[in-house]
């Protein structure tokens, strides 16, 4: 996700509209569908959503790197595999 790409795409629409109410608010709902401010509000909401998705993706990628660096995962996997080979069946009690 690239917030900047979305921002560049919607910036001309937002600049032309000047100001607009937040999408979904009563003020936005009262605008005529042909009013450029109504479309600008939707473009602004899309820009905010793109920023949110981009920052969440960055946070998830960082969390993945942190988990990867937190332990010797290949060593842990080898230990798990090694333990599987040491199965001792229980004796039944009669």
- pLDDT tops 90 at residue 21: yes
**Is residue 93 assigned to a domain?**
no
Quick check: pTM over 0.75? no
**Is residue 28 assigned to a domain?**
yes
**Is residue 92 assigned to a domain?**
no
Domain count, the chain: 1
**Is residue 89 assigned to a domain?**
no
Here the contacts of 12-20 (C-beta below 8 Å, separation 24 or greater) are 13/39, 13/40, 13/43, 14/40, 14/43, 14/44, 14/47, 16/40, 20/44
Which domain covers residue 65, as residue numbers? 3-84
**Is residue 80 assigned to a domain?**
yes
**Is residue 33 assigned to a domain?**
yes
Q: Which residue has the higher pLDDT, 5 or 88?
A: 5
């Amino acid at each position: 996700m690239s917030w900047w790409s979305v921002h560049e795409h919607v910036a001309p629409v937002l600049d032309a509209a000047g100001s607009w109410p937040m999408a979904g608010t009563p003020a936005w709902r009262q605008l005529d569908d042909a009013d450029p401010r109504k479309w600008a509000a939707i473009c602004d909401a899309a820009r905010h959503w793109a920023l949110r998705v981009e920052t969440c993706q960055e946070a998830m990628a960082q969390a993945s790197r942190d988990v990867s660096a937190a332990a010797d995962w290949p060593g842990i996997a080898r230990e798990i595999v090694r333990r599987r080979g040491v199965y001792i069946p229980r004796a039944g009690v009669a």
